[in-house]
Structure 1
Amino acid sequence: MIDEVPIPKPGAGEVLIKIEASAVNPFDLMVRPGFMAQFIPLDLPAVLGGDAAGVVMDKGSDVSGFSVGDRVIADFATNGKGAYAELGVVPITAVAKLPANLSFEQGATLPKAGLTGRQTVDALGVRAGARVLISGGLGAVGRAAIQYLQEIGAKPVAGVRPERIEEARQLAGDALDITAPPAGATFDYAISAAAPMATHLIQHVRDGGQVASIVPVPEGANAGNRVRIQELYHRADAATLEAVANAAARGALMIPIAKTFRLEQVGAAHAAVAAGSRGKVVLKH
């Protein structure tokens, strides 16, 4: 439903953004029907959308480092005042400047995927030279993690279904069929970015190895607790978001856009994500 609401006013530590583009995430499709209501209660009607790019229109009196007219990207919280809107208020702790060589549409693909990809790698303490298995490596978070691993000199291995092996090799440099039983558990580190693949992924990790997972790990997948699992949800972090934007600007991070819709076509955009669109679905405002 498209509706008119009062123009929000930024408070202390906040900026008002004229949103030019936002991205649709699978998480939005879980929030919309109320599946997350027990954990994230929202007052209805609620505005969804976590990723945005746009222009600063106004700012709180104490805000420094940003000026009216700045192009920015923003990581909106799931609080019912999201990015599927023409205007939105967000804390500066969740905002970074959008480099001039990136479009608003490109910028909208970056916040949550970029933050999550980097934070999973950092949570594992991966160092240069380490081999890291990533399930869901061709999704937005998986791509962000793989490209960050490459940036720090680690050796990512994309774990994908057999029909996508070649595509994954082109991205990561190495890939394996995540659904095939492993000859041995050889990985010290792994990142689980695809719920159906979590059990397969754990089978590839040696005893005492580490897994950072952004999806719930199925009951019994880690028999005997033989690997250490950290279940993570991304956190807003302006410094990391700035690093994400800068990586995208120099070509070290790219998340492909599959389809673009107008804001009023949000229903069709959600349907595209539900159908398994390969790449980000973006709304132009």
Structure 2
Amino acid sequence: MDAVRPVFYVSDGTGITAETIGHSLLTQFSGQRFSSDRLPFVDTLDKARAAAGKIRAAAQSSGVRPIVISSCVDQALTAQLAESGGLILDVFAPFIGPLERELGQPRQPRVGQAHGIVDFEAYHRRINAMNYALAHDDGVRLDYSDADLILVGVSRAGKTPTCIYLALHHGVRAANYPLTPEDLEGECLPAVLRPYRSKLFGLTIDPVRLHQIRQERRPNSRYAQLDTCRREVAQAEAMLRREGIEMLSTTHASIEEIASRVMEALGLDREMF
């Protein structure tokens, strides 16, 4: 079996950019095994030397060359990291030169701009959206007049994490409504949702996977029984089809994919923060 290759996401800021890009790159290599470690706020030469030491230690213990994905703005820090002997991938390097030539000006290195509070209006929009998602989670509050969208589905289909992701990353005011057994027996859209039909999007899930999730939450309850899950999913999907509401299965989809598909379906064009 191939050795587990160490991967380090190193940044003079939070490391979110390096980790996001790095993860996207590494998922293209199936069959490889990676162990990851994020090293944020490496913003001095001393910290860079310490990071290089940690990378060298990982090389010795694993027996393979570590991969270092860096978003350090200061090139002196990147040079120090290179002393580790790891494969250094500078996430900015392929783009800075072409941009400088196209824009006719050199870069002005600034640490932490991608994830800092540089736009207070946008920041407050995210906070307000998060508060909205929490206040309108699981049908707690049913006034949806200010909602950008409402996710509908059976309990534990992935509505809450998707709403939180939409709020945090896109500033979307997302509510969610769980279809109860009483709603499902009615076979038509619950009255509280009818005025907001244009904001609705359905989430569904494979019944076996739903059974596993519910078992973790309420083991051996009727709520978690496989036949209950099968019946509720079938009833919910039938209702959404009758009502002409678009739906998506969350069984094998990431939150990022679910959020993107929901926004596309409802015509919401929001910048990602």
TM-score by length of structure 1 reads 0.29
More helix by share: 2
TM-score by length of structure 2 reads 0.30
Q: Which has the higher contact order (CA 8 A, sep 6+)?
A: 1
More strand by share: 1
Select the structure of larger CA radius of gyration.
Answer: 2
